[in-house]
Structure 1
């Protein structure tokens, strides 16, 4: 069970409605999109791409994004042109759109309705960013139909996470894990994993854990 975003007036304090519109989990961010080019796969998948995620993934241990971590079956490691290296499920299609304050990268599963989204944050902390995204007037998660917070977790200034469900008008009940964190170089990012509410929880949690554990800003240290 698990992982969304422009009013210029709020950009100093948060992502803003324009970025929310690009990252909200309603499929709108994919409409009319052609896959973005320029993604370099540095490790080919070590197993077939399926809609079943592995239980765990090996965290990155390299000091820089130029060295690839080992990749679990069903995943691939990519150097993304936005400026980071990340491990994502093999066979998922990449899309990119530019928000006013951040590029929003989306990976869509070929079946099953799962999705990963990655974008940089402009707030001062993961907790401040997540609170704004949930509660901001006009575009916060809490205003979505059927919204219900299912779980929260936080570790000071390191990360903040919200698990929630809502009712999508086209795709039905959905669950989301929104994980916002401070990367090894000090920059702030969000990675969101989402899918049908009825999906086994591990199928939403595992792609998120793998993405977060492997995330490495280009030219900087890795976690």
Structure 2
């Protein structure tokens, strides 16, 4: 259910699709505009998009993973992570806040590593990877609609919300996973402060409130700092 971003267009896209299926991968939400990077001027992030989250707004303030987040724009990140989150220096090189207790794993895409943070209790998941298209909107459009691997082809697919800005694009959708059942997804693609394009996706059971699924995405976007950046 992912896009052709990690592997780019062409033959690699099929491999990327297999790698990013929600059953073994994850998902994304609101902009990381509160992070400042000294290597280049900070850029705006993306907001709601993807297939499992029914919320198409700009994201919500990070809250404890066990609580629903209000449907309002994310606030500037605090020095310390919100309750229930920790600041992670990911081995790939970027930093971001992730829920405490979630398990990290990594798979290698054709052109970039794909990182997952999985909840041990309720089926939610974060997924982070760099993309290679020329814009977040192009990357998300390919991910959804490519006739060969687009996640719109998945059983039960339904787009629930879309939003975009100059440097980000987001899609919220749902689909029926063969192993996990109905899923909500928020797929957020954005330009980081160093100019690199990333996708952060968050997913979870369709039975969970959208705000609960979106909360880890909002926390990740508000705290995201690309490799080599000095963020505060």
Same fold (TM over 0.5): yes
| Rounded Cα–Cα distance in structure 1 between residues aligned with 2:193 and 2:11 | 21
**1:13-40 CA distance string (max 9 Å, x none):** 797122222222123x59xxxxxxxxxx
Residue 203 (structure 1) aligned to one of 212, 217, 232: 212
1:11 shift after superposition: 2.6
C-alpha separation in 2, matches of 1:192 and 1:15: 20
Q: Name the SS of the counterpart of 2:220 in structure 1.
A: helix
Aligned counterpart, 1:55: 69
> Within the alignment, does 1:149 sit opposite 2:146 as a pair?
no
Higher RCO (CA 8 Å, separation ≥ 6 residues): 2
In the other structure, the counterpart of 2:182 is 173
1:37 aligned partner: none
Q: 1:51 to 1:154 in 2, by over 3 A?
A: closer
SS in 2 for 1:149: strand
SS of residue paired to 1:199 = coil
Quick one: structure 1 residues 132 and 15, their matched pair in 2 at CA, closer, same or farther if it must change by over 3 Å? farther
SS at match of 2:189: strand
Pairs within 5 Å for 1:114-193: 114-156=124-166, 158-193=167-202
Distance in structure 2 (CA, Å) of the matches to 1:15 and 1:123: 13
Return the alpha-carbon distance in structure 1 between the equivalents of residues 165 and 211 of structure 2. Answer: 22
Corresponding position of 1:218: 227
Paired residues of 1:54 and 1:73 also in contact (CA < 8 A): no
SS of 2:163's partner is: strand
Aligned to 2:2: 4
CA–CA distance in 2 between the matches of 1:155 and 1:15?
Answer: 28
What value does the CA root-mean-square deviation take over the aligned residues? Answer: 2.5
Unaligned 5+ segments in structure 2 are: 27-63
**Structure 1 residue ranges without an equivalent (≥5):** 31-49, 62-68
- 2:22 corresponds to: 25
Which whole-Å CA distance do the structure 2 matches of 1:181 and 1:14 have between them? 24
* 1:162 and 1:178 in contact (8 A); partners too: yes
The 1:169–1:146 alpha-carbon spacing in structure 2 relative to 1, beyond 3 Å, is same
Equivalences, count: 190
Higher radius of gyration, 1 or 2: 1
